[in-house]
Amino acid sequence: MELLKSAVLKKGKVLSGDVLKVDGFLNHRIDVELLAEMGKFVHEKFSDCKVDKILTVEASGIAFACLTAQFFCCPVLFAKKSKSTNISDDVYTAPVVSYTHGTTNNILVSKEYLSKGENVLVMDDFLARGEAANGLLSLIEQAGANVVGVVAAIEKGYQGGGDALRARGVKVLSLAVIDSMENGNIVFRPDED
């Protein structure tokens, strides 16, 4: 998606440790207008699909998921990274490694909000090794719900998580796929269509 790619090139910074800093518009300061445009784009790409719910994980996925859900007229469910007193004990859980935080979290959702037969679209800000996406897919599988697809704003294509999902037959839509960030130069994968 050209609008996002332009933002990445204009405002993104490649830091050491394979970190792409896009906190000026995606996951700290949020460019709400841009994310709504991205949501509209996602809706167009999944216009032939029934989406009952969007599933994401706190915190960076929430903005993109909510601004997209408006086009699908569906609710968002965000997986939590820790248990709080206002969540029931009846949860689905899955382990997820976070490379930017250097931690492993057991993400969780209340069973009452993820139901058998529901059609669920997974969304997140980044798709790299696919840790978060696979955790979310595990939650959906545990619930007996259906995976509509996996959407990421930015995919680090060279880390393989997205292609591994595609190889498994999952419909993956990444709005910007980065094939290389060597020497700080961001090289995007050409769009499929």
Positions that interact with its own copies (CB under 8 A): 15, 17, 19-25, 27-33, 35-36, 58-59, 62-63, 66-67, 69-70, 73-78, 80, 82, 84-88, 98, 100-102, 109-110, 112-113
Do 12 and 20 touch, CB atoms closer than 8 A? Answer: yes
Radius of gyration (C-alpha) of the chain in whole angstroms: 16
Closest CA to 105 of 151, 59, 53: 59
The distance of closest approach from Cβ of residue 60 to its own copies in the complex, given in angstroms and rounded to an integer, is 8
Give 151's strand partners: 123, 173
Q: Which is nearer to its own copies, 28 or 50 (CB)?
A: 28
Q: Quote the tokens at residue 66.
A: 């909510």
The distance of closest approach from Cβ of residue 170 to its own copies in the complex, given in angstroms and rounded to an integer, is 23
Q: Quote the tokens at residue 47.
A: 């216009």
Name the residue type at position 30: I
Dist CA 193 CA 55 (whole Å): 26
Q: Which is nearer to its own copies, 10 or 101 (CB)?
A: 101
From residue 193, how far is each of 10, 17, 140 by CA, in Å?
A: 23, 32, 29
Q: Quote the tokens at residue 51.
A: 């989406």
The distance of closest approach from Cβ of residue 191 to its own copies in the complex, given in angstroms and rounded to an integer, is 25
Q: Which is nearer to its own copies, 33 or 182 (CB)?
A: 33
Cis peptide before 59 (omega within 30 of 0): yes
Q: Which is nearer to its own copies, 71 or 158 (CB)?
A: 71
Dist CA 48 CA 12 (whole Å): 32
Q: Which is nearer to its own copies, 30 or 175 (CB)?
A: 30
The distance of closest approach from Cβ of residue 155 to its own copies in the complex, given in angstroms and rounded to an integer, is 16
The distance of closest approach from Cβ of residue 64 to its own copies in the complex, given in angstroms and rounded to an integer, is 9
Q: Which is nearer to its own copies, 84 or 185 (CB)?
A: 84
